[in-house]
Structure 1
């Protein structure tokens, strides 16, 4: 082992003797290390929570129910892979050709292969009431042969043998008070059919918690699904002695185009929401966790650097009495190791609680099922420990480097006053980032048409980093310009506040800069969301021309027969069916291709402008038939598509189409960024039904009378409801993906951590001024004057943070508004602005007042003779 390598190892891993000395130092200066400990513990909590979500997404799921008896469950490729590690889930179920069932059955080790078809149904009991699934979960119909995958057993009666016979699971029959021999109605889409209950079946294990099951004949199940020759999944029963994992490998090698799942992974095929949740959790936890790691490293490094800088006189004395630079490095490194390792371990406990809080928000947003299991393990804690220790050691090394490399005389001189020099490289980076951010938001340097979230994320980060680089200099300028106006020089407290701010602007900037960064991030999140919501609301309110809207409960949908029925009702001028899905659009990007997800709608083009005004800029929406598509302006700019161009589109079930662009419209936020023919969208959704029907009445028709006439015409469709314009607003958008809730969650966690860091820094910087306060008291300053002085400094901190933070939000918000609405004026939420100002004042003023009270507690004689 070379000498340089041994030196590096000791810099990273202190020896036991170093740790013992560090522990003695920490015990003697507990107050000076509390702030560093808090920063590390809070950072460890956030990293641990993200790590737990990531591990849970990779390794857990939901236990299968109907497929509990299958060794292997085969499904289609439910994701489009952007690369080897990134995927995008399709919004609809990807089915398999029915002929693959025979191919799977021929694989050695397969005892039986059974194709399963899922049909979402509504069950109407003999009294006409709808019998729902457990806890709002769906009721699914299947062919009886798939009952063997449970396995289900007939408790009473027999298996279905005729098209109008059905078997109910025992819990469903009990909830609906349905007995053997009774007649029930199964509503598929909007169409009800009468069935006679010939059997009651018991579910495997503890029963069905996430669904209810009804079984019809295999042929009837295929008919109801509307997809002849396709199956949703293939369940495989293994021959005796064959391991599921081994059998899965054999099947995937012998039968191309199927994805094999074993163990808990079988639930991903049975419940699409589980697979979607796993993918989303992994993606968001990894993305947000990576961002938080960088921020935690920055905050921990800044806090520890402040802690070490406050000891520069002590370190200078050590250099003066003969301590070598290497000894200074070892001492500070050992201290950082002790503080960071203990803080990381302590922070892991609230990190576990934070992970469960984040999980609850995922569930509340509807992007994670309530029964999704969390995995608590040591791996996230170890990862957090390593990251926190490394960041602390790096911070200690950077701060100690300057103190250790100067001569003892220079060290004592620097310790007497705050250093005035400011890094030229830091200033250069900060200055260059400002025009780069302006170009990104206003100069179309980024790809045109990029979403508001992408623009904000990229531009805001540049301005936030610029604030971090230039914050101290900006504060110094603000003190010169506004300091005398915020603090009257005629009073002792005002004079002291202004003098202290001028002399210690770098210390004051350690709190002002992160506070300004937090203001910027919070303002862009709040005002960016308010701009998006206001633009979408304006578009849909102005563009919706319908008088009445037909809707149905979630999952039921509206069948094409309903549209034909209402078109013949007296007083109805136009009836437009609307179906929704998410689509993937692939387009050239630089030297390769890119794929993005967009909300899509399927509409009938006949007289569309009378029910829905998309504000067409180019082309003719009436040509939306066959292989045609209309794009919003934002999407058209993103993919660089003009009217007449052909694009590559993946529908919700993975089907690839290449439609021709026939129109480009403006109101994509309100109605969806991609508009396709209604029959195309319906054919490639899981339920094969429309979401809503927009109805425009004949001029002069009484709305109340028409609503009554519509209800009469729809009596034979029991799940269809007649509503007003507000009913469509509830079904619009991308399907309630909950992105807004997730963004709010992550921004709350991020800003919460920044708030902790700001308060922590303010308390550290203020509490370290015990000797300064004592000196002022000895020369005649009263306690009230000192409090007034600190209030004056707090005014400088608050004003500067709000000024710099809000100024940094202007370019990104203008860019967002221009991209969404072509207007440079964003929609500012007054409530959000008041909240940002109030929180900024509360954080800074509260922290400074609390720390000031603490710093003035010691007796003057003790304070003046104590440590700095």
Structure 2
């Protein structure tokens, strides 16, 4: 079977090459992503100042245990920005048997410390005591996790980015590979039917197709793995150059990542081939060639019902995104897009047939006889062109939605930051918590507000997550900052209270006057009364806390009035804070756009690949048309007309899906009903898709027309 598979692949260079490209690109993307995830997962930071301790007792994370719908417990681990340990725990540690010494690492307040370094012969006793007190014990190679470091932050970033995009990338690769192999098998149905006619069993046909796909997947690994190594080095250099990871952060796990990527792509390819070969392998030998000579019907009732159900799910997801919190809507963007594209894939035969009927008058008027031929082809081959329509819709949908989402978030964050700062100057540095009070007494100062930038941990859905926060002095707050309060009063931000952004309040289900349970930066769980809800959360912070709740120095003091100076502080215009934020966002946006760009690029590759395969598979069809009297010029005009019809449907549907997805998410996140799209944005998406379709169809067809029709008129497709 393997020998026969290799021979058949040599006689199908077009479809084999197209499938190989899709598989190789999948291996490259998966392996590159896997290398960084594996590198982060196995990384052990240097213990640094904790090297002399056997165990480090610290509080760097909290674990939230919730109950799922099925009754099982689910645990969410969330890092703490400034976790501390009660000072009283030190005496309990010293009283443990086997403890020979306890070193104290000071914290920001007298009653809490940063960590304890314990010398002991009984690590388990220390771990047990730490667990009883709700903190962690780090021993051996894990001691480095007790301290925050640049490499540790890089590890968290790679794990978070990998987990956030990894699942969607895998789904995209499965979607593309399945469609490509399905189209390749469909174009070979005559050959496979011939095998059935000469007594090949259904099992033999399926094994043949699966063997061919396995061979191509392994060949793809040979090309994809070296390409992934090159891509990994380039991405690593970019991450280092842009400050995401330190230069010395180890990149490891290439063999494991290569094996995992190859195995996954091989599995997807074989399963896709098995599914695609099912129909042909089930034809009776005596009916094989007759059945395959006619284009199969558009699809069964099961496909139609499944497509309508997926379409309904997409509509429901859109309604959810519009009414949900900003973070929930943002997380659902790519998922919503996938649901719509899957619905299009299932309903594509009916969509193509409808498009042919709707566009028939236009095509006939513009292209005459060639337009008539194009309409007939679009109707007759409605099911055969399903993969082409789906690939184009996928490219337009990705390019026109998730790509622009980052632009909207960046634009709104900068706008809200600019509008939310009413101070004239800012003093930057590590400043005493009472610095603002002294600045208020200086001549020419109208108002001054001390700010400590940090984060808190808040509940969301069935878990918890970090949220940006600022601890602020309520005195003069409304004179230096305007977060856009929609409910409540910032003057009440004292004691155990909190002001929340609209997005954060919605995400956690809090309303004005509610008691909000959250974890402060040091890990303490508190209940705070919601005294205000404001709109400019993206530019200000998710939460505003009374300054006494958070220990430690201020990192900035906002000043309104005359410029003042303090020793050790840098004076800058308040507008420069927005400028720096814009630069920081641009750096962060680069990583998001890199990951999204990979998905958009792979979707575009799939579209081009699919269209080349579809064009090359028309060798016999175009030859027969020429032998019946149709000129080459008429054939070219027919193909052009078909492209207009297919592109019109794909651009319309893809544009609508992209617009719905982008509008729903942007409205939920920013409150704006109309999303921002860069001036050249939609032109690039629509124009790029059009150019891709024209190049990948017209060029192959022109090549086919150079060959005499009698050479291509045989039964081989």
| TM-score between the two structures when normalised by the length of structure 2 | 0.89
Instruction: For 1:327-346, list aligned pairs within 5 A.
Output: 327-346=204-223
| Contact 2:406–2:593, Cα closer than 8 Å, also in 1 | no
Q: 2:708 & 2:129 partners in 1: Cα distance?
A: 84
Distance in 2 separating the partners of 1:536 and 1:524: 18
CA 43–107 in structure 1, closer or farther in 2 if over 3 Å, else same: farther
Shift of 1:375: 0.8
Aligned partners of 2:480 and 2:559 also within 8 Å: yes
Q: 2:618 aligns with which of 755, 766, 769?
A: 769
The one-character-per-residue Cα deviations of 1:690-716 (angstroms, maximum 9, x if unpaired) are 23222222xxxxxxxx33xx24xx3xx
Which whole-Å CA distance do the structure 1 matches of 2:246 and 2:522 have between them?
A: 21
Q: Map Cα deviations across residues 299-335 of structure 1 (whole Å, 9 max, x no partner).
A: 2121111111111111222222222212212222222
Match of 1:176 in 2: none
Residue 545 of structure 1 aligns to a residue whose secondary structure is: coil
Q: Which of 11, 24, 45 is 2:28 aligned to?
A: 45
Q: Is the 8 A contact 2:513 2:531 kept in 1?
A: yes
**Equivalents in 1 of 2:315, 2:184: separation in Å?**
35
What aligned pairs does 1:706-745 form with structure 2 within 5 A after superposition? 706-707=562-563, 710-711=564-565, 714=566, 717-718=567-568, 720-730=569-579, 740-745=589-594
Q: 1:577 aligns with which of 442, 450, 458?
A: 450
* Residue-by-residue CA offset, 1:538-587 (whole Å, 9 max, x unaligned): 433333222222224xxxx3333532342122221111122211211126
The answer to whether the Cα contact below 8 Å between 2:424 and 2:559 also exists between their aligned partners in 1 is yes
Distance in 2 of aligned mates of 1:104 and 1:515: 67
Determine whether 1:461 maps to 2:443. Answer: no
Deviation for aligned residue 1:357: 3.9
Q: Counterpart of 1:28?
A: 11
Match of 2:644 in 1: 795
Change (3 A) 1:629 1:340: same
Measured after TM superposition, the shift of residue 839 of structure 1 is 2.2
Aligned 1:406-445 pairs, distance under 5 A: 406-442=283-319
Structure 2: tracts of 5 or more residues without a match = 66-73
Counterparts of 2:680 and 2:439 in 1: how far apart (Å)? 44
Contact 1:451 1:634 in 2 (8 A): no
Cα distance in structure 2, aligned partners of 1:679 and 1:348 = 55
Tell me if structure 1 keeps the 8 A contact 2:193–2:283.
no
What SS is found at the alignment partner of 2:696?
Answer: helix
Instruction: Report deviation, 1:59.
Output: 0.6
Write the mapping of 1:661-740 to structure 2, written as runs, cut at 5 A. 661-681=530-550, 683=551, 688-697=552-561, 706-707=562-563, 710-711=564-565, 714=566, 717-718=567-568, 720-730=569-579, 740=589
How far the C-alpha of 1:487 sits from its partner, in A, is: 6.5
**What is the rounded CA distance, in whole Å, between the counterparts of 2:164 and 2:410 in structure 1?**
24
CA separation in 2, counterparts of 1:806 and 1:744? 20
CA distance in 1, matches of 2:317, 2:710: 58
Partners in 2 of 1:391 and 1:493 — Cα distance?
Answer: 40
Q: What 5-or-longer segments of structure 1 have no aligned partner?
A: 1-17, 118-224, 698-705
Structure 1 residue 75 displacement after superposition: 4.5
Equivalent position SS for 1:647? strand
**CA shift for structure 1 position 623:** 0.8
Q: Quote the offset at 1:659 in angstroms.
A: 1.0
> Which residue is 2:71 aligned to?
none
Distance 1:534 1:576, change over 3 A: same
Cα deviation, residue 47, structure 1: 1.8
Distance 1:731 1:601 in 2: 17
Q: Is the 8 A contact 2:348 2:383 kept in 1?
A: no
- Secondary structure of 1:659's counterpart equals strand
Shift of 1:460: 2.7
- Alpha-carbon contact 1:361-1:745 (below 8 Å) kept: no
Distance 2:715 2:293 in 1: 16
Q: Does structure 2 conserve the Cα–Cα contact (< 8 Å) formed by 1:248 and 1:260?
A: no
Residue number in structure 2 paired with 1:617:
486
Distance verdict in 2 for CA 1:566–1:506, change over 3 Å: same
- Asked if the contact 1:603/1:676 (under 8 Å) is kept, the reply is yes
Cα deviation digits, residues 196-245 of structure 1 (max 9, x gap): xxxxxxxxxxxxxxxxxxxxxxxxxxxxx64346543445678xxx9xxx
Q: 2:498 aligns with which of 613, 629, 636?
A: 629
Label 1:358 to 1:288 Cα distance change in 2 as closer, same or farther (>3 A). farther
Separation in 2 of the partners of 1:509 and 1:745? 29
Counterpart in the other structure of 2:68: none
Q: Distance in 2 between matches of 1:278 and 1:770?
A: 52
Aligned match of 2:56 in 57, 65, 74? 74
- CA displacement, residues 480-502 of structure 1 (integer Å, 9 cap, x when unaligned): 22354257454454444444333
Match in the other structure for 1:811: 660
Judge conservation of contact 2:84–2:112 (CA < 8 Å) in 1. Answer: no
Aligned counterparts, 1:292-691, within 5 A: 292-360=169-237, 362-363=239-240, 366-442=243-319, 447-448=324-325, 450-485=327-362, 488=365, 490-491=367-368, 493-552=370-429, 557-586=430-459, 589=461, 593-681=462-550, 683=551, 688-691=552-555
Is the contact between residue 268 and residue 274 of structure 1 (CA under 8 Å) also seen in structure 2? no
Aligned residues between the structures: 706
Question: Is the CA contact (8 Å cut-off) linking 1:581 and 1:735 kept in structure 2?
Answer: no
1:259 matched to 2:132: no
Aligned-residue CA RMSD in angstroms?
A: 3.2
The more displaced of 432-441 and 294-303 is 432-441
**What residue in structure 1 maps to residue 82 of structure 2?**
92
* Distance in 2 separating the partners of 1:666 and 1:514: 39
Q: Aligned partners of 1:820 and 1:560: how far apart in 2?
A: 33
Which residue, 200, 209, 232 being the options, matches 2:114?
232
- 1:105 touches 1:112 (CA, 8 Å); kept in 2? no
Q: Identify if the C-alpha distance between structure 1 residues 30 and 70 changes in structure 2 by more than 3 Å, giving closer, same or farther.
A: farther
TM-score when normalising by structure 1: 0.75
Name the SS for the 1:74 alignment partner. Answer: strand
Whether 1:756 and 2:605 are equivalent positions in the alignment is: yes
| CA-CA distance at 1:38 after TM superposition | 1.5
CA contact (8 A) 2:56 2:146 kept: yes
Q: What's the CA shift string for 1:242-261, capped at 9, x where partnerless?
A: 9xxxx755642465544214
Aligned-residue offset at 1:453: 0.9
Structure 1 distance, partners of 2:372, 2:116, is 80
The offset of 1:63, in angstroms, is 4.2
Tell whether the 8 Å contact from 1:459 to 1:812 is kept in structure 2 after alignment: yes
Shift of 1:625: 0.8
Other structure's SS at 2:475 match: coil
Distance, in Å, in 2 between the alignment partners of 1:261 and 1:739 is 33
Residue pair 1:545, 1:611 contacting (<8 A) in 2 also: yes
Deviation at 1:865, TM superposition (A): 4.1
Q: Is the 8 A contact 1:543 1:615 kept in 2?
A: yes
Distance 1:820 1:445, change over 3 A: closer
| 1:765 Cα deviation after fit | 1.1
Cα deviation for residue 749 of structure 1 reads: 1.2
